[in-house]
A and B are shown apart, each in its own frame.
Chain A
């Protein structure tokens, strides 16, 4: 399989810590379709790991196998040292899960929901503190059904946290949120890092992965197509930067120094696009040339490829194939 594991975090070698989640050759077959077609994953203690991919790529299938809700067709899976297919109460005591779709407990307030769930665990967290952690202090005595979508999701996070788990699964926690609700949810998830929790996050938003994750794996059509940090995913750090500018009418692109013309990847009338591995050096050359001619380049723009560019490139080929 074509997993590109470039620049995965240098955790390897002799003193490797035991991964919290370890997956080898995981496969899930539905009829003749491989929803998950043999993937490998490792998630380490204390990191926020984002599992990024378009809808239908196999994210939820994978996470539900890790949570113990689904069986697998093939492969080895270990979550906190236990095979989730055989996870017992003691194992569930250490794992929290925010499911993709779950409504609040009917007829109970936010605090009562948490009291009910706290009773399920051996060493639950303090209830009021957990309510504060997800920012629902004002709503503690409100019935779950009366919360907004964003607040319900935060209640879900609180319910996943109440047992004080080591590992938390978050399955598309902000789907359907408005921008401000997303920001609030992100700060809650970011806060889990400071509690020392390991977080396994699935999402189809690249900005969410970029904002929150220490490490990202991209899944498309059931396969891992890239793995890395937000900065290095898919070789992003080695990809060329783009320099764009528009020359004044009196100046022809052909008049640019030879060194820069060689970098041109696009010319649209007076608008020039250059691709460069050394943007600083080439912008310096461009600036010297422009200043010497008394020309200004008011729309000069230097861009590194965004995570979105990388992601779309990675997932596009796969979805077609």
Chain B
């Protein structure tokens, strides 16, 4: 899977790397330039690689082994067909939300963001580059989950609903990136970032049908889960993977709730996002 990402990374690479001037290039080229170095830094970080690329795959193997490849879930599909989209939701969240919050708080506290702001690069380019990286990593991890699911456990290949899978994943990644930027404004130190995001996400994974089918939950807990975006990303992906799904596999209500959360996140991030360390010196 890391090889796949390295391939993606090489695709993003532009010919002779010696300082192609920004003026001669388009805005999009500058976003790709940023994404390429963000991706490279991501791939060099052991912790990022483990939590984002390896852990969802590990969970797939564990869950299918524990529960056996029997019929589970509300749609009555095999465990593997249930867990590939569920853990795909986890992969999207790990790449966009968890990894982004940790890296952004670290970069803010160490003055990296402030130094970048002292250059002419527009803020939105930095944000778009980082978001693009998260989307790329999400899609690659999902592809690997699907490939392992298909060849090891005979998961149904959602050829007809590929648009649904892709659209849901991309919207989800964008929404969770924005939410990541919003949450990073509430975290004062880089050390607090990892426990904080895990404390938020672990319970949500459990109640949102990522780790266990949520038909097993009491109804009040299901109602709570429905408020949060994790449930809707997982549900959108479950639907797109459901062999009995009709159409292109997009659940518009799930997309709508994700978009609503993204709008809230954007409002918070725009109001409160800071490029400079919390304790500025005099």
From A92, which residue of chain B is reached at the shortest CB distance?
B120
Q: A249: shortest Cβ distance to chain B, in Å?
A: 55
Contact A119 B120 (CB under 8 A): no
> Assuming A101-B277, A159-B115, is B41 touching A115 (CB within 8 A)?
no
Contact A60 B276 (CB under 8 A): no
Determine whether B42 belongs to the interface, using a CB cutoff of 8 Å to chain A.
yes
Q: B30: shortest Cβ distance to chain A, in Å?
A: 7
One of B18-26, B151-159, B197-205, B206-214 contacting the partner: B18-26
Determine whether A100 belongs to the interface, using a CB cutoff of 8 Å to chain B.
yes
Taken together as a complex, chains A and B put the C-alpha atoms of A56 and B116 apart, in Å, by 25
* Interface flags, B76-112, vs A, CB<8A=1, else 0: 0000000000000000000000000001001100111
Determine whether B219 belongs to the interface, using a CB cutoff of 8 Å to chain A.
no
Contact B112 A102 (CB under 8 A): yes
Contact B41 A106 (CB under 8 A): yes
Q: A10: shortest Cβ distance to chain B, in Å?
A: 33
Q: Which of A58-105 contact B (CB under 8 A)?
A: 58, 60-61, 67-69, 89-90, 92-93, 95-97, 99-105
Contact B119 A105 (CB under 8 A): no
Q: How many residues of A contact B (CB 8 A)?
A: 45
Determine whether A108 belongs to the interface, using a CB cutoff of 8 Å to chain B.
yes
Taken together as a complex, chains A and B put the C-alpha atoms of A35 and B281 apart, in Å, by 12
Question: Within 8 Å CB of A110, what residues of B?
Answer: none
Determine whether B44 belongs to the interface, using a CB cutoff of 8 Å to chain A.
yes
Q: B29: shortest Cβ distance to chain A, in Å?
A: 9
From A30, which residue of chain B is reached at the shortest CB distance?
B282
Determine whether A289 belongs to the interface, using a CB cutoff of 8 Å to chain B.
no
* Interface flags, B251-282, vs A, CB<8A=1, else 0: 00000000000000000000000001100011
Contact B281 A106 (CB under 8 A): no
Q: Which of A67, A108, A119 contacts B118 (CB 8 A)?
A: A67
Given A58-B282, A104-B112, 13 extra CB contacts under 8 A: A69-B118, A89-B122, A92-B120, A96-B118, A99-B115, A100-B281, A107-B45, A115-B18, A116-B33, A119-B20, A124-B19, A125-B19, A163-B120
